[in-house]
Structure 1
Amino acid sequence: MVLGRNEANKVIDSQHTEKRTQVRRAAFASSIGTTIEWYDFFLYNTAAALIFPHLFFPSSSAYAGALQSFATYAVGFAARPVGAAIFGYWGDRLGRKVTLVITLLLMGIASGAVGLLPGAATIGVAAPLILVGLRLIQGIAIGGEWSGSVLLAMEWGDQRKRGLLGSFAQIGVPVGLVLGTGGMTLLSALLPDQAFSSWGWRIPFLASLILVGVGLLIRLRIMETPMFAKIVARQRTSQKPVSDAIKHHWREILLSAGLRFSEQMPFYLFTSYVLVYVVAQHHYSKTFVLVAVLVAATLELGLIPYFSHLSDRVGRKRVYLTGAVLTGVLAFPYFAVLKNGGYVPIFVVVILSLVVHAMQYGPQAALIGESFPTHLRYGGAGLGYQLASVFAGGPAPLLATWLLHVTGTPYSISIYIVLAAVVTVVCVALIADRSRSDISDDSIYVRRA
């Protein structure tokens, strides 16, 4: 009897050890995958601001070239909900792991192809057309990546730490920004302008292929999440998960999209449009602005898990609302400093912009993921998250360029940011806070069905 008890204890200890190992692997795989995907995505953002206007639209004026470049940038965002629907279907049918392997491959191949794409001077109008096609592939891959990465960590770990665990996928954004922007910054500083503009910018895109290989090795070692495995074992997977998510949880999808407005829209102004505004309008060096964004993103690496952990303790909505309100408050001082300030004030305000972003982006993964039952979570969370891309993130640099051109004042962009903050505050107030709920119990979602 004693021997049997000891053997049982060994089995239990072994199971606990294996689970801890899988939780660590899931968290790492979640962050490394999104790091690679966002590294590729931010490379495109930086190149769209600094390189693509003259490379792919050489006959356009500076203003028209910026508009055209940011229009191809926006195409990737429009494709994201499509990717969320496609991979949401497979993620809720086949599982999180296999779907995430496919999204990683798509993103890496598209980014490597951008690094090899000749400019308009070589292949004419085919260059921008191919660029748009590759951007579409990037957007579709990103659309399917986010929710799977979040769920990989959230559905493996301790439910009392869902905010912190979900943030591992979010950490991939500033890491990708650091790597992508850092690579561009280093090359911009080391290479003459002509060399950087002609071939130097291609190196980080091609390097993404190496990172993809590393990411695949890590993701292939992860087991399926326990929550989804239980759904499969009980034969409770949906035959049409995306349709069911829209039918039964349309309210959560719309609120999830709306609560992202004050996080996503200003973020792409703070990290992409700022490069155009400060360099083109006020003639600061590319390297200075890239370094400021790089330092801010590095700081955000620590702030995202901090605010996510805080949301586990005090509630998601409380932390998120604070960040949304502060974003609205910062809108006018931000552009006042960019317009009138010197090197130090601009550096400081760029850093502050990503601090208020981290207050929202950290808890966001859990706040959205908790809003959907397990068998519809990949598609529902993905649709809600990526729908904001069409109306908030994608058009932001394009509209900011247009607003500045039409009004002649950057404060019109500040008003745009304030309106986004108002949308977010309303949506966060209306969405349910399930910070302390058992999300493996689908009965908590029945009242929404």
Structure 2
Amino acid sequence: SPVFEEMAERKEVEAENPAKLLFKRFTPLVIVAALVFAGNGTVGYMTTGGYIQSYASNPDGPVGLARGDVLNAVTLSAFTWMLFTLFAGFISDKIGRRTTYLIGFVLQAIAAAALFPLVNTANLGLLYFALIALTVGLGLTYGQQSAMYAELFPASIRASGVSITYALGSVLGGAFAPMIAAALVEATGSTTAVSIYLVSACVIGFICAFLLKERKGIPLSTDHEDEQASNHFIFSKN
């Protein structure tokens, strides 16, 4: 990036022990920002993690659709997710990262609540509709992610801040989501608990995005570290 090239020309590098400095000064920010991404990942892993494919195509399950039909629906939803991700990146430059997130999480929560009721109809058309509708919110809570993370951290610890926060959000919101969903269905005998789990993740993501101030357009160069290191939350005084 231009900022990285600027730092290289000045022979500047990340702060010594940037991870230690990150957690010493920005632990609340790391947690909140990670939960924003987790709100997206928890719901997204219902498709990318393979749970919907297994659930909807299980011949002994309540849906029992042909596996090929389910995979086609998932593939199409992956394409529409890509389109809405691109749209989110574009629109967030116009209306802001935070506003795009808030709209996205509302739409994502609605689609997540409707996902399993629609899938459980065993109607292929409704499966397509459910998965595509879900990707609207997923795209709007993902496309601006890299820009938002870059705007959160000072240049001297930005690489560590972005990578650690993203990794933490991935673990919290993605890695265990399919396993948790399967365990909830096994424990309760229905998908209602999974729907509650998904909507709860959207609510947490919404709250965390709401807590963050809009930082679109903040200078990213090393000359503005003081500005980059402060004023992250809506309750911040400076």
Q: TM-score, normalised by structure 2?
A: 0.89
Among residues 230, 245, 269, which one is paired with 2:6 in the alignment?
A: 230
Among residues 126, 137, 162, which one is paired with 1:345 in the alignment?
A: 126
Shift of 1:381: 0.9
Residue of structure 1 equivalent to 2:46:
269
Shift of 1:443: 2.3
Shift of 1:398: 0.4
Structure (1/2) with the larger helix percentage:
1
CA contact (8 A) 1:245 1:380 kept: yes
For residues 291-330 of structure 1, what are the structure 2 equivalents within 5 Å? 291-330=72-111
Asked if 1:239 is matched to 2:16, the reply is yes
Mapped partners of 1:446, 1:322: distance in 2: 27
Mapped partners of 1:402, 1:360: distance in 2: 26
The structure whose Rg is larger is 1
Partner SS state of residue 362, structure 1: coil
Residue of structure 2 equivalent to 1:428:
209
Residue of structure 1 equivalent to 2:32:
255
Q: State the one-letter code of the partner of 2:178.
A: P
Partner SS state of residue 433, structure 1: coil
Mapped partners of 1:447, 1:268: distance in 2: 33
Mapped partners of 1:343, 1:319: distance in 2: 31
Asked if 1:443 is matched to 2:226, the reply is yes
Using a 3 Å threshold, how does the CA distance of structure 1 residues 286 and 399 change in structure 2: closer, same or farther? same
For residues 45-194 of structure 1, what are the structure 2 equivalents within 5 Å? none
CA contact (8 A) 2:149 2:162 kept: yes
| 5+ long unaligned stretches in structure 1 | 1-224
Using a 3 Å threshold, how does the CA distance of structure 1 residues 341 and 371 change in structure 2: closer, same or farther? same
| 339-348 vs 314-323, which moves further | 339-348
Asked if 1:402 is matched to 2:183, the reply is yes
Count of residues in Structure 1 that have an aligned counterpart in Structure 2: 225
Shift of 1:341: 4.1
Among residues 44, 53, 56, which one is paired with 1:278 in the alignment?
A: 56
Mapped partners of 1:327, 1:232: distance in 2: 41
Mapped partners of 1:363, 1:226: distance in 2: 19
Shift of 1:260: 1.4
Using a 3 Å threshold, how does the CA distance of structure 1 residues 446 and 354 change in structure 2: closer, same or farther? closer
Shift of 1:448: 6.4
The CA RMSD over aligned residues, in Å, is 1.7
Flag the structure with more relative contact order, 1 or 2, with Cα contacts below 8 A and sequence separation at least 6: 2
Mapped partners of 1:411, 1:360: distance in 2: 23
Mapped partners of 2:212, 2:6: distance in 1: 27
CA contact (8 A) 1:304 1:358 kept: yes
Asked if 1:354 is matched to 2:130, the reply is no
Mapped partners of 1:427, 1:378: distance in 2: 21
CA contact (8 A) 1:228 1:375 kept: no
